[in-house]
Amino acid sequence: MNPIEAFQREVAQNIAGLRADEDLGELSRTWIERTTPHKYTYNFTWLGRPIIQFPQDIVAVQEIVWRVKPQLIIETGIAHGGSLILSASLLELLGGDGRVLGIDIEIRPHNRREIEAHPLARRIDLIEGSSTDPAIVKQVHAMAAGKGPVLVMLDSNHTHEHVLAEMRCYSPLVTKDSYLIVFDTIIEDMPEDFFPDRPWGRGDNPRTAVHEFLKENDRFEIDHETQGKLLISVAPEGYLRCIAD
């Protein structure tokens, strides 16, 4: 066995051990619960823009983008634009003409100005409106026509109904061996009263939407390896690999 294969096998064994350690998994969920009131994820930027993600999920997205080499990355939920900049920076490193398409029901003017002024703005397209509006879905499908691979990341309204609708709308665009990434599935693991001012919570969130979606769609499977090695992630069971055309 050559050294590269030996290292890859060692990493696979490491990940298997992490997945099997239930106590460590519980500690990770406790850590997430304790840091959430402090808005831990709000404290990081990517190339100057707030990204509002765990560093572990940022690294996971980097690994997936580098492996998949998408021509188009579709993101629902823009906020301050850090995730769009992350995707654009990875596409820039890959070379070619890959683009990022961001969709949000409201793109606040100050965020739009900063995104459009960024050096990587030339790779980014913005659409303002509901990600499940049929007119917008049709527009996105038209923009994706003829492009591949396509990667989709969902991070907007976190209710079961909305996320499931997004998955049904955009999963057909995801190409084989690429990913449909659903963020904030961690909501299902938090206490029932953890989101008193939000329309989502335990039993009504992206994780419940993922489970229902997987019952009706056999093109995707949970990437347990990504989930297992991260431990600290807002997207447990949310990294979905496309396994069929």
99-129 tens-digit pLDDT: 999 999 999 999 999 999 999 999 999 999 9
Instruction: Summarize the confidence of residues 49-73 as an average pLDDT.
Output: 98
Percent of the chain past pLDDT 70, that is, above it, reads 100
217-227 tens-digit pLDDT: 999 999 999 98
CA distances from 243 to 8, 140, 191, 200, 206 (A): 22, 22, 33, 30, 21
Instruction: Summarize the confidence of residues 234-245 as an average pLDDT.
Output: 97
CATH of domain 3-242: 3.40.50.150
Instruction: Give residue 62's pLDDT band: very low, low, confident or very high (50, 70, 90).
Output: very high
pLDDT in the model for residue 57: 98
pLDDT in the model for residue 178: 98
Q: Is the pLDDT of residue 32 over 80?
A: yes
pTM: 0.97
- Closest by Cα among 128, 224, 212, 136 to 168: 212
Alpha-carbon distance of 112 to 153, in angstroms, equals: 19
Helices (H), 95-159: 109-117, 134-144
DSSP string, 100-167: EEEEES---HHHHHHHHHSTTGGGEEEEES-TT-HHHHHHHHHHHTT--SEEEEE-S--SHHHHHHHH
pLDDT in the model for residue 189: 97
Percent of the chain past pLDDT 90, that is, above it, reads 98
Alpha-carbon distance of 170 to 197, in angstroms, equals: 28
Alpha-carbon distance of 156 to 57, in angstroms, equals: 16
Give me the residue spans of the domains in the chain: 3-242
Q: Is the pLDDT of residue 1 over 80?
A: no
